[in-house]
Amino acid sequence: MAFLEEGGDGVSGWLGAFVVMIGIFTPLNIALGLWSMYGDPTRHFLTPTMWTNLQLLVWTVSIATVAICWYLCWLLNNRQAWRTVPITIGLYWLVVLANLTGKVVGVAYVLGLPLAYLMDTVGIRDALSLALAVAVTLYFLLSKRVKLTYPRHPQDDAMRQTFD
């Protein structure tokens, strides 16, 4: 198996696909969502204050999401220690849950709508986001590539090489 051979560690394979997903495709998806927000004809029914508050909410969540995703890309590529794994899992769940709750709770608060009214907007895409977060968590905890790339005790490897 390739991941057990010499040089089988590093950010490639599914781990590399995850980095590309959060570093490129997630920001592109957010940019498309922001673009479609300005083309939505229903925005004209909002008062100027509601529209300003909605923009502030969406832009804040979007910028924070992209910043966290780019930080995770940097972290996964530059910090090859086990501590990277729980940080990645935690921040990824933060991104997923912040986007889900921001969409429902934040919009309900900004627009002054009852929360139950917007619960109908939670759909398949949101369920897929949660399923992907579960899959990413399991991958980071169980993958041999992740274990090779982010060793639990890198100082042990350095010590072992010193005395070999």
The pLDDT of residue 107 is: 81
Report if residue 75 sits inside a domain. Answer: yes
The pLDDT of residue 4 is: 46
- HSE-CB of 50 using CA atoms within 13 angstroms: 13
As for how many domains the chain has, the answer is 1
Mean pLDDT of 131-141: 95
Report if residue 156 sits inside a domain. Answer: no
pTM of this prediction exceeds 0.75 = yes
Report if residue 3 sits inside a domain. Answer: no
Report if residue 110 sits inside a domain. Answer: yes
Which residue range forms the structural domain that includes residue 126?
Answer: 9-151
Burial 64-100 (b: 16+ CB within 10 A, else e): ebbebbeebbebbeeebebebbebbbebbeebbeebb
The pLDDT of residue 108 is: 84
Look at the block and give the residue holding tokens 């927000």.
37
Report if residue 2 sits inside a domain. Answer: no
Task: Write the CB contacts of 29 (distance below 8 Å, at least 6 apart in sequence).
Answer: none
